[in-house]
Structure 1
């Protein structure tokens, strides 16, 4: 029985939405903790290689088909493995060597806005108008605010970290758009399992190419706890919840999870690491969200109307 079948109904949908925000929001801080002793690409690669095996096993038991067939299914898996898993997480983990988890979460919240921009370029039927273009500009401006953009000091650690995380968000958004036109009947659990496994292998290959000391990593108790949490909770359970919600509420409503994640990350960073969030990060996050609201204003209006109708009926 799949996760979607087991946890049906509107109350479970709301609960899963909040769980996903909690799982993915805390993952930014868990990554930051693990990176104190484990190299970034090796850390991410092990996480997704193991998660891929588990999710693929889950797909073999709960879905009608776990093995891909045909060019488009393999192409869809490859795009996800390269852009959504390997490149995105590689840049995110390396970026978090320079910026905190909450800051990374704010930058990643630009992903839905970037997705709309790529859709305009690649899928003309999903184009955005002048107001949406303004929203895209606001989103990018919000990232610049978070980075403390200074043309005279582009080599600062914070700027480099924000840029790497931003490029990761670009990769994730591009991967999501490129997979849309591909026709596939392979269950999403199966697609995700294959993409995670292949993406994890690419990350491990990248760790070797980067010269990371994979043979003598200091696996402290804290690092092991971080790895276990990221693999089991954020990756395996998180992605299964994500695709369950995608089927139920659609991409626009689900994108709102990305705007709860920075809040969760900030709370987790404060509680676990004693981190604060400065005014620039808060201002940047508000600007990014304003951009998202402009890009998705019609869809958000429809969601609000349906929600109001459901509450008052």
Structure 2
């Protein structure tokens, strides 16, 4: 698939785009639960390396099977942007995995979605035509308010939970920047290069970090295998491919409104898998997020 010389015009969100975004949101929302399960048996950087090895293999097989590797070549002026994109992903995923060792899975899912708010604001100044209208701003604030309600209890817990929440806040900011960077890059570069660059840089960075900072042994259990399979096949493989297609055809600011459903999926999954309580805060936050999404889509 050759790179395009001119950007692809963005579409308005349609049924196909909304369905793809919501499915990706479901998998991303459940991802912190899978990460927390994997961290029971492997340290954070090693878990990330295993995830990217599997996910990179999925992407490579997909690219080869669809003929996208024919004539594959990286031009000299492409190395730097591809490297930057890969490093952004590595830093974001590294901070996310480290943070997940501290708070609950629900906290991770909730804090991570702050990237959607940052994406809307960044897109307003960086993506042509991504106007931050008063209605959209109100929707973002309402949804953000719901997340803050659910997130507020974590501040009273202090200790590791508060540190983990702070690290996740940084991870969310990096994810917002990466989303905008990727949305601009995918308009002019071969999507296969973008996907493989992220996987290769992630594998190298995390293997190096694990070798330096993680002497602990890995426990090879069925739980770890399931966690790696979900993160590798579904999140790093399927979701990366779908997300790249979404970013090529729809504005990031419009997609982030649909991605605000991630904390709902994450909190429910955390309750089912880890027994984390579904409190009144969850109900209020869920309603606020739904109202916020409705406002941002009008």
Q: TM-score, normalised by structure 2?
A: 0.78
One of 155, 161, 169 as aligned partner of 1:166: 169
Change (3 A) 1:157 1:284: farther
- Partner deviation per Cα, 1:284-310 (whole Å, 9 max, x = no partner): 56666777777xx4xx22xxxxxxxxx
User: Displacement, 1:27?
Assistant: 1.4
> Residue 37 of structure 1 contacts residue 223 of structure 1 at CA under 8 Å; is this kept in 2?
yes
Give 1:40's aligned residue: 44
**1:278 corresponds to:** 279
Distance 1:98 1:78, change over 3 A: same
Whole-Å Cα distance in 2 between the matches of residues 105 and 280 of structure 1? 15
Residue ranges of structure 2 left out of the alignment (5+ in a row): 2-13
Kindly indicate whether residue 241 of structure 2 is the aligned counterpart of residue 236 of structure 1. Answer: no
Name the Cα RMSD after superposition.
3.4
CA distance in 1 between partners of 2:157 and 2:87 (Å): 28
What residue number does 1:176 align with? 179
Q: Is the 8 A contact 2:120 2:256 kept in 1?
A: no
Unaligned runs of 5+ in 1: 2-9, 302-313
Whether 2:85 is the aligned partner of 1:80: answer: yes
Which stretch of the first structure deviates more once superposed, 218-227 or 258-267? 258-267
The answer to whether 1:68 aligns with 2:69 is no
Per-residue deviation at 1:229? 1.4
Contact 1:76 1:179 survives alignment (8 Å): no
Q: What is the number of equivalent residue pairs in this alignment? A: 284
Structure 2 CA distance for partners of 1:248 and 1:140, relative to 1, 3 Å: closer
The structure whose RCO (Cα within 8 Å, separation 6+) is larger is: 2
User: Which of 202, 207, 228 lines up with 2:210 in the alignment?
Assistant: 207
**Residues in 2 aligned to 1:126 and 1:170: alpha-carbon distance in whole angstroms:** 19
TM-score when normalising by structure 1: 0.75
Task: Give 1:231 deviation, angstroms.
Answer: 0.5
Aligned residue among 84, 106, 112 for 1:108: 112
Q: How far apart, in 2, do the equivalents of 1:69 and 1:19 lie? A: 34
**What is the alpha-carbon distance in structure 2 between the residues aligned to residue 148 and residue 14 of structure 1?**
30
Shift of the alpha carbon at 1:165?
Answer: 1.1
Superposed, 1:115-154 pairs within 5 Å as: 115-119=119-123, 128=132, 144-148=148-152
CA deviation after TM superposition for structure 1 residue 282, in Å: 5.1
Distance 1:171 1:91 in 2: 10
Inter-CA distance 155–242: structure 2 relative to 1 (3 Å threshold)? same
Distance 1:186 1:201 in 2: 22
